[in-house]
């Protein structure tokens, strides 16, 4: 049996925070349409819950990313492996991500999508590791700031496992993979 380590956020804590984010986003975009863009694979659970918590019209699309890591950790190139189906020109776009670490990937995604001339573009992440930030990127909406620990569950994985856990835990006793 795998060692899930210490619980970090319970299912009920996550649900409460997602509802709060949905209310804030609904208020901020009141009277507007909104396109949610989920970053695959990790964001699918969060995005489904968030979409249900938003009380304005939303459309949904997904983007897939691939990272090609160089020999030095965290310095890989990012490319879009699965592009949007929607034309985002003139639309309000909210990128939905499970976790932001260094900020490099999300800065790349935002800059790439800005070139398509959306009306607005913002980022919502469930978990934000500001300790690992390697640029000045800041998401617009954050579920929970977290320390530099490795977490699984609620869409986040280790070797493509554990995404289906309804709560978030560390992997192993010390939170390191």
pLDDT band at 171 (very low <50, low <70, confident <90, very high): confident
Tens of pLDDT, residues 80-139: 777 798 999 999 999 999 999 989 889 999 999 999 999 999 999 999 999 888 899 999
Whether the predicted model's global pTM rises above the 0.85 cut: yes
In a domain? residue 63 = yes
In a domain? residue 21 = yes
pLDDT of residue 116: 95
Helix (H, G, I), strand (E, B) or coil at 22: helix
In a domain? residue 87 = yes
pLDDT of residue 176: 54
- Number of domains into which the chain is organized: 1
In a domain? residue 177 = no
Q: What is the mean pLDDT of residues 8-18?
A: 97
Tens of pLDDT, residues 31-88: 999 999 999 999 999 999 999 999 999 999 999 887 655 544 555 577 777 779 899 9
The candidate with the shortest Cα–Cα distance to 118, out of 85, 144, 83, 92, is 92
Contact 45, 51 (CB under 8 A): no
In a domain? residue 43 = yes
| Domain ranges, residue 96 | 7-170
CATH number, domain of 117, equals: 3.40.50.2020
In a domain? residue 133 = yes
Q: What is the mean pLDDT of residues 158-175?
A: 84
The candidate with the shortest Cα–Cα distance to 45, out of 167, 154, 142, is 154
In a domain? residue 70 = yes
pLDDT of residue 142: 98
pLDDT band at 155 (very low <50, low <70, confident <90, very high): very high
The Cα 121–Cα 54 span in angstroms is 17
93's tokens: 């776009």
In a domain? residue 175 = no
């Amino acid at each position: 049996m795998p060692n899930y380590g210490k619980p970090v956020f319970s299912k009920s804590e996550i649900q409460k925070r997602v509802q709060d984010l949905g209310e804030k986003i609904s208020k901020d975009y009141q009277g507007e349409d909104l396109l949610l863009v989920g970053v695959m694979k990790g964001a699918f659970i969060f995005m489904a819950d968030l979409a249900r918590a938003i009380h304005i019209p939303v459309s949904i699309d997904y983007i897939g990313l691939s990272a090609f890591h160089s020999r030095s950790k965290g310095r890989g190139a990012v490319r879009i492996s699965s592009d949007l189906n929607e034309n985002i020109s003139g639309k309000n776009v909210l990128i939905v991500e499970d976790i932001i670490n260094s900020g490099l990937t999300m800065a790349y995604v935002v800059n790439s999508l800005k070139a398509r001339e959306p009306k607005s573009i913002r980022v919502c992440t469930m978990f934000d590791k500001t300790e690992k930030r390697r640029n000045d990127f800041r998401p617009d909406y954050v579920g929970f700031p977290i320390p530099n620990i490795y977490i699984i569950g609620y869409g986040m994985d280790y070797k493509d496992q554990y995404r289906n856990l309804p709560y978030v835990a560390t992997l192993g006793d010390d939170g390191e993979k």
